[in-house]
Chains A and B, each alone.
Chain A
């Protein structure tokens, strides 16, 4: 696999993982004892979210076997963009000009980082 594809997949997994864990955590039964808490934690959102969170570092380590550490790490900055974008598109969270301007600055920064 191309290391850059692996890094992009890692960003997607981290984003999806965050969204799923957020949704899944809302389903936790907190005040009816430990057993109910464990039972409620076995829900599809948390399981899939947990799976993504565990898989992402493996993709990262694979990618690092082919690219420099600083290049690989810079891709984690894309997570900010994808979290803002997916939060807006999927969860209908409000965004402002600050979100758009900031995201463009992050994108510009990452581009300069990787071509300089």
Chain B
């Protein structure tokens, strides 16, 4: 199989600058995930009888969800699928800690194990995706 230019770019040694950009994109993506989830939870508290602040949190939820979606597209341009999905699924662990820290929800070993199993599953599914597309290409 011939390697495309892009594969050569990321397949061999990845230049330091690219790693910095990817790390930056990932960190921002985790940040927007956190802000979006906190915003959604805060909005939900008053959504039955909306106040002025409800609208701010609802709008914030949409903005942070959208920003995260845009970052995801940029991340996929620089990172292979098989790495991008597992790295994004770190969000499951993150949200467990966010729920515990900001809203005092229960954080148990079982929940963390469950999140790890979800991350493993996501990794295996994305590996399956990559394998299928490799077979399809000439």
Give the interface segment out of A23-31, A32-40, A69-77.
A69-77
Residues on A with C-beta less than 8 A from B105 are 68-70
Tell me if A110 is interfacial: C-beta within 8 Å of chain B: yes
Near B by CB (< 8 A), chain A positions 67-116 give 68-70, 73-74, 77, 80, 84, 94-99, 101-116
Residues on A with C-beta less than 8 A from B120 are 102, 105, 109
| Chain A interface residue number, banded | 35 or more
- Contact present for A65 and B125 (CB under 8 Å): no
Residues on B with C-beta less than 8 A from A8 are none
Tell me if A19 is interfacial: C-beta within 8 Å of chain B: no
What is the distance, in angstroms, from A89's C-beta to the closest C-beta of chain B? 16
- Contact present for A116 and B41 (CB under 8 Å): no
Residues on B with C-beta less than 8 A from A108 are 117, 121
**Overall SS of chain A's interface:** helix
Number of contacting residues on B, CB 8 A? Answer: 45
What is the distance, in angstroms, from A9's C-beta to the closest C-beta of chain B? 16
Given contacts A65-B48, A70-B105, are A110 and B118 in contact (CB under 8 A)? yes
- Contact present for B125 and A69 (CB under 8 Å): no
Chain A contact residues, CB within 8 Å of chain B:
57, 60-65, 68-70, 73-74, 77, 80, 84, 94-99, 101-116
Q: Which 3 A-B pairs have the closest CB atoms?
A: A116-B110, A98-B128, A113-B114
A-B contact pairs, 24 of them (CB 8 A): A57-B40, A57-B62, A63-B44, A68-B103, A68-B105, A69-B98, A74-B118, A77-B92, A77-B118, A80-B125, A96-B131, A96-B132, A98-B128, A99-B128, A99-B129, A104-B121, A105-B120, A109-B115, A112-B110, A112-B111, A112-B117, A113-B111, A115-B110, A116-B114
